[in-house]
Amino acid sequence: MHIPDGFLDAKTALATTALSTAGVAYALRQVRIELAPRRVPLLGLSAAFLFAAQMVNFPVAGGTSGHLVGAALVAALLGPSAAVVVLATVLIVQCFLFADGGILSLGANVFNMGLVATLSGFAVYRIGQRLVPGVRGRVAAMAFAGWCSAVLASVSCAGQLAWSGTVAWSVALPAMAGVHMLIGVGEGLISALVLLAVSRTRPDLMGPVTQVQASGRARSFVVLGLLASLGVALFVAPFACPWPDGLEAVAGKLGFGARALAPSAAAPLQNYRVPGLASPGFATAAAGAIGTLVAFCLAVALSRLVVREDSSRKSSHV
């Protein structure tokens, strides 16, 4: 999801850079307050870990393989402000050392993967973990958090591409979100399996590294979260409310709107009316809701599968 240079215009690059500079500066300040000096090297080592972890291949179908992005995982393991710093570090090194992601779009990449993905992942993980205590709840929460972080970051990315006028929103959103709903399944699965592996070997490493009361951490999360939501609102809201007629035009031209709405709709779509589904925007929203529900069920199923398997294996092997 690293946006290269040339895909964002100056306005978007400036806005995202300002937002992510503010976010990273605030996260650094919080980490300096919250983190015991002993844990300072852990930030650098975690960034190096994340980089190495991204190189481990997970075989998918037909010889292709996927890899971890890890924003939600790091947020679950280290807490929100430390995760923002770690992700920003990884993205800076990837940009300058490996030319992965552009210089001017570094701000946008830090915003999407450093702020949106980590904070949404952390929020979902915490809520899920609270609702269902125990290892099983933790695994399910992590899997769903990984999926949500990938999808939300891709929506934010689509918003930026549309805001720049590079790709129309009506094309960017379904393409980006659709692909990342699939990628997110892998991301959630890997994150949950890794979390399970860590909690088996060193349960004491679980949980945020910062040593302040939950209230202090909650405040930094709220501030960072507000910043991320502000950005998402800025990039996504202009398109989301009055649905652009571009979509109608494209859907009419290509006929994919018809397929998305109802397979039986006829080709000339000048004045199509599909009962129940008032607008293509609604169809997209419905698709998103169904996708989220499926991902949630998969996460719960995974936790049941892996954790029960775990206890039975323990009794036979240990």
Among positions 29-48, residues that touch another protein (CB under 8 A) are 31-32, 37-48
Contact 172, 158 (CB under 8 A): yes
Binding to another protein, residues 56-75 (CB under 8 A):
56-59, 68
Q: State the DSSP H helix or E strand holding residue 316, giving kind and residue range, or none if neither.
A: helix 280-317
**Distance, CA of 62 to CA of 57 (rounded, Å):** 14
Q: How many residues bind another protein (CB under 8 A)?
A: 76
**Distance, CA of 206 to CA of 70 (rounded, Å):** 15
Task: Match 């001017």 to its residue by tokens.
Answer: 104
**Per residue, what are the HEC states of 132-148?**
CCHHHHHHHHHHHHHHH
Please state the closest distance from residue 41 (CB atom) to another protein, in A: 4
Among 23, 79, 80, 102, binds another protein (CB under 8 A): 102
- x-marked contacts with another protein along 135-174 as a string, rule CB under 8 A: --------------------------x---xxxx-xxx--
Binding to another protein, residues 261-300 (CB under 8 A):
none
DSSP-based three-state secondary structure for 122: helix
Looking at residue 99, the DSSP 8-state letter turns out to be -
Choice between 25 and 131, CB closer to another protein = 25
Tell whether residue 7 is a contact of another protein (CB under 8 A).
yes
Binding to another protein, residues 204-223 (CB under 8 A):
205
Choice between 175 and 234, CB closer to another protein = 175
Interacting span for another protein (CB under 8 A) from 1-9, 128-136, 142-150, 222-230 = 1-9
Contact 163, 244 (CB under 8 A): no
